[in-house]
Amino acid sequence: MIRLRQLAVCYWLQLKILLFSPFEGFLAVVFPLMFATAALLVYQVSGDPEAMLYAAIGAAAMGIWTSQTVSASTLVQRERWAGTLELVVAAPTRFSLVLLPITFAMATIGLYSVVATILWNWWLFDVRLEVENWPLFVLSILMATITIALFGFLLSVTAVRYRTSWALGAALEYPGWLLCGFVVPLDLLPDAVLPLSWILAPTWAVEGMRASAAGESPWLDLAICGLVGLGYAALAAWLGVRLIDSARRDATLALT
């Protein structure tokens, strides 16, 4: 019960901070609309309504991915710059339990981009999102949000020991659009990179969104998405303990 209260309080406080952050506001409000516009302008050339709908669904998830990869990977770095990382590491609460609710708060902000992108696509490109099964479509969006948050959790943990690892999130932003099948079908990708797509949970979540929109069953995609997300959480929790313990043991925990 105490752990749940700590997670809830940390989540709520971070969510309020993010809501008033100019950087997060710009990242969540402006970026998704820019990316969706660029993607749909490319597909508009073909004049294929099905292709436009395919891109519109993928563009709706792109905002969550962007807000998470960039923000979560710089999360620890921002604490380092503020001089508060030592306090976070030294706190009685496990380090991973401090980072986890913060990444979930970031993903919650990213949920706005889904609604904004859907409305933007409708108003600007007249692409109406026709969904056969709305409950499963919403569930797929929530699965995408949760698993992307867990992926951000994994990224943020690595930055506690390696200062330059924050750049990994920025480097993954645009390749992730392709590898997760947001705007390009996975069938068009080289076979050599498909395993990378399979270990990214958003790949399966977006497939679930498309299956739900088409009236097909998304359960297999969502089950795989959930398992991959749990793998992220387990790996991040293990790394969080190992990296900090290693740094303390070797007296190399240079945080500032």
* 8 Å CB contact between 60 and 138: no
Q: What gap in Å lies between CA 119 and CA 131, rounded to an integer? A: 14
Which parts of the chain register pLDDT below 70?
1-2, 21-29, 161-166, 247, 250-256
Burial degree of 248 (CB within 10 A; 0-12, 13-18, 19+): exposed
Q: How many CA atoms lie within 13 A of 203 on its CB side?
A: 22
Q: What gap in Å lies between CA 234 and CA 99, rounded to an integer? A: 14
Q: What pLDDT score does 220 carry?
A: 93
123-132 residues labelled b (16+ CB within 10 A) or e (exposed)? eebebebebe
DSSP sequence for 165-226: GHHHHHHHHHHHHHHTTSSS-GGGS-GGGHHHHHT-HHHHHHHHHHHHHTT---HHHHHHHH
Q: What gap in Å lies between CA 178 and CA 193, rounded to an integer? A: 10
Q: Is 47 left (phi over 0), alpha (psi -120 to 50) or beta?
A: left
* 8 Å CB contact between 39 and 59: yes
* 0.95 exceeded by pTM: no
Q: What gap in Å lies between CA 178 and CA 150, rounded to an integer? A: 20
Quick: pLDDT tens for 134-150: 899 889 988 988 888 88
